[in-house]
Structure 1
Amino acid sequence: MSQLIRDYIELVWNQGRTEEAERFLTEDLIQHNPNLPNGRKPLVGFIDGFRKQLPEARFEIRRLAAEGDLVFIHSLFTAQPGHRGTAVVDVFRIANGLIAEHWDLREDVPETTASGNDIV
């Protein structure tokens, strides 16, 4: 399951190879992102538009964990080189070897933190 998610992020999101989406996503994907409807097709359309607007955008997975049918990733998203970035946590539910459900949370990376520790 972990490799499925690593490959999905790299191929579909980072490389924009949305023609590969059916290898990773169920057709009736349940989406909990408030800006996206359910289904593989709307997500593919979103990713295609996203990649056109931000061709250098990249997700760098920093942490990954799996439990049962869930995979959790903590990533640094950068829109372009030199961008401070956004910390992203994605949760994926896997069913029959495909991503069936998705949740995500985002927070912009601040210049500094009270603790001095990075947020990603």
Structure 2
Amino acid sequence: MGIKVFITNISSSTDIKKKQRELLQTLESLKIEFETVDISDPSKEEEKKFMRANSKPAQEGKVPLPPQVFKDDDYCGDFDAFSEALEDNALYEFLKLAPPKEVSQASVTVTGGKSEDE
């Protein structure tokens, strides 16, 4: 299953739209595979209930709002936790993913070789 990002395509809140866009663009730019779940889609009512039951609201007594991030069925966090993990270079830990293998770059300098003119 992998990473699931719960979003809404129907929101009057520019703050929610901005957070969703930033989160999704960050995942895309890092080539992290994910699935979006639009909780405003009436056919996604069960997913919406799952998100609300398993997320933590920003304030006590409130309903959790998108975007919310899960790894399979494990809750990772909301946008603020995502943003903090990104700033702390701990995004892969936040997403419960193994960090990508680092690719080393080598440079080669050739010295003492014959030129084509010789």
Same fold, TM-score > 0.5, yes or no: no
Q: Per chain length, whose mean CA-contact separation is higher, i.e. which structure has more relative contact order (CA < 8 Å, sep 6+)?
A: 2
Bigger fraction of residues in helix: 2
- TM-score normalized by structure 1? 0.27
- TM-score normalized by structure 2? 0.28
- Tell me which structure has the larger Cα radius of gyration: 2
